[in-house]
């Protein structure tokens, strides 16, 4: 684990060190200097996201089950997640690309039991992963569905490249990547699905994955539901 973390941090650090050395040793035009500073900012953000995910994962692994007296409203939760995902979709779009189509469905008035920031982290990781890996013009659907077994399911369906069956059992391992080069290119830390798995376990839920290469993927997070009378 330490070796993996060191590797993940070393790469952006090496890039930043090279840019700093260039800025210190060369007299650059203003435009070139701004370009280098922007690239340095990207690497700094990458390291910040990695550290944040490591802290979240550390807290999850050492936390107890959430109190059943903590209801989380889905509408407010999803408002922030949707805004974040749409911003990410726009930021990674290149000139000439078709925009991604993002569709969100959230039932009104439904609350689930648990820790708001943990559920937010899990749901946003699933949505943001779909945004990162779905090509321009693709469709991403995120919806909450009440299940017959008295739980609720958050599903994220995308039309991305899909995942071969041999990778599926290992997706929630820390730092496991189907395509390491593509993951780093899109800004993934390799910890998102591990965070989702721990959030699910802490809340008495589960995560399941269906995927087919060249078709797309579906990630589903199932959690207990809350009602004024208690768990439904």
What is the per-residue pLDDT across 13-49, written as a single tens digit (0 to 9) for each? 888 888 898 888 888 888 888 888 888 887 888 888 8
The pLDDT of residue 173 is above 50 = yes
Across 55-59, 60-64, 169-173, 224-228, which has the greatest mean pLDDT?
A: 169-173
Residues 102/126, Cβ–Cβ less than 8 Å: no
CA distance linking residue 123 with residue 67, whole number of Å: 19
Q: What is the largest CA-CA distance in the chain?
A: 69
The pLDDT of residue 66 is above 70 = no
So what's the pLDDT on residue 197? 93
The more confidently predicted of residues 191 and 180 is 191
Rounded-to-10 torsion of CA 86, 96, 29, 47: 30
Residues 193/208, Cβ–Cβ less than 8 Å: no
CA distance linking residue 183 with residue 166, whole number of Å: 18
pTM (two decimals): 0.79
Task: Calculate the alpha carbon distances from 49 to 54, 122, 187 in Å.
Answer: 9, 15, 9
Helical pair 2-25 and 30-62, crossing angle rounded to 10 deg: 160
So what's the pLDDT on residue 226? 65
Q: What is the mean pLDDT of residues 198-215?
A: 92
């Amino acid at each position: 684990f330490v070796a993996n973390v060191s590797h993940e941090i070393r790469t952006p650090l090496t890039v930043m060190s090279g840019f700093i050395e260039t800025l210190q040793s060369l007299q650059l035009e203003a435009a070139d200097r701004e370009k280098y500073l922007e690239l340095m900012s990207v690497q700094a953000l990458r390291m910040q996201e990695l550290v944040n995910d490591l802290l979240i994962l550390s807290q999850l692994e050492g936390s107890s089950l959430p109190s059943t007296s903590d209801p989380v409203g889905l509408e407010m939760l999803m408002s922030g997640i949707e805004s974040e995902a749409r911003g990410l979709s726009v930021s990674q779009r290149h000139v000439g690309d078709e925009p991604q189509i993002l569709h969100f469905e959230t039932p009104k008035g439904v609350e689930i039991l648990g820790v708001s920031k943990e559920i937010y982290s899990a749901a946003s990781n699933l949505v943001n992963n779909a945004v990162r890996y779905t090509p321009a013009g693709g469709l991403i659907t995120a919806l909450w569905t009440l299940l017959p077994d008295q739980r609720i399911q958050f599903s994220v369906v995308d039309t991305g490249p899909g995942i071969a069956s041999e990778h599926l059992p290992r997706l929630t391992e820390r730092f496991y990547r189907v395509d390491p080069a593509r993951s780093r290119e899109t800004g993934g830390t390799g910890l998102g699905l591990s965070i989702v798995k721990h959030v699910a376990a802490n809340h008495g839920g589960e995560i399941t994955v269906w995927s087919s290469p060249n078709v797309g993927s579906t990630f589903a997070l199932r959690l207990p539901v809350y009602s004024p009378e208690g768990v439904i």
